[in-house]
Amino acid sequence: MKRTALSAVLDAAFVFVATAAVVFTAVRFYSSLTAAIVAAISSAVGITIIFRMSAVKRSAAYALKKKDAEMMENVLDALSLMQEAALNAYFTALLKKSETPFEEENGRLILTDTNTEIFYYFTFGETYEGRIIEFYKQAEKGRNIFVFGREFSEKTYALSKRFAGRIKLLDGAGLFLAMKKYDCFPEVKPLSFTAKRKINLPKALFSKRRARQYFLYGLTMEFFSFFVFYPAYYLIFGSALVLFSIVCYFFGIKDAPPQENPFRE
């Protein structure tokens, strides 16, 4: 049996047992043993069916997101391997498709509406603040700059805010949305190596936006501690999750701020 299938079976079994335990305990307090068993089984079957139907929908949505994520990595890899002339050609096509007013000057693309000069820094890692400052110094005096990059660090976002709107950033995720909207993608060539992207575990586990999830998981475990034979396990881990949610809420890593998109809405 595949791991995903086994996981689905275990999830469904947990929902069935948990629902049956809750309903049985509640009905048995007011009615007979037979009524409690019938109510528990019928409720557990109904809730498990509903859970599986929603899980199938979620898995389909996840498959689409995963496909988009893989496609985004491929196109960002392609941009990271391009020379500046090729990048200019691609972004010229994207700006034309989005009907964004621009002009070319000395090999640079200029957004005429906002007098903003476009720069690129696509790498296989984060885009760092030192390079952003170099772009700012290269720009024509009095112009804003718009930097397209694969991924920006929190320090880079913080640095851009210090320039009162003169430096604007758009990372690969924001750019990919524009690519999809205008159906304009760079040519993707197969790479001769497989580059596995590192998972940022601190960012994934200690994200501020996960605080609510940890809190709900913790309360759920504490609730079920009233209906199981080993309540200490549920109480300890439930309380730990609640405390962890508080830590994440106050000290967790914040997501990147909303980014401005230069392309026409």
Pair 148, 109 in one domain? yes
Dump pLDDT digits (tens) for 196-236: 455 555 566 667 777 788 888 878 877 777 777 777 777 78
- Residue ranges of the alpha helices (H) in the chain? 3-30, 33-80, 84-97, 129-138, 154-161, 172-182, 201-205, 211-224, 231-251
Within a domain: 262: yes
Range of the domain at 16: 1-64
Within a domain: 217: yes
Instruction: Give the C-alpha separation, 217 to 223, whole Å.
Output: 10
Mean confidence (pLDDT) of the chain:
81
Dump pLDDT digits (tens) for 108-150: 899 999 999 999 989 887 778 889 999 999 998 889 999 999 9
CATH number at residue 89: 3.40.1350.10
Within a domain: 72: no
**pLDDT-derived band of residue 183, with 50, 70 and 90 as boundaries?**
very high
Within a domain: 55: yes
Instruction: Give the C-alpha separation, 259 to 169, whole Å.
Output: 7
Q: What's phi and psi for 44, nearest 5 deg?
A: -65, -40
Pair 225, 168 in one domain? no
Pair 174, 208 in one domain? no
- Is the pTM value of this prediction over 0.75? no
Pair 170, 203 in one domain? no
Pair 177, 100 in one domain? yes
Query: What's the domain count of the chain?
Result: 3
Quote the pLDDT of residue 258: 62
Within a domain: 193: no
**pLDDT-derived band of residue 101, with 50, 70 and 90 as boundaries?**
very high
Overall average pLDDT of the 16-23 stretch: 81
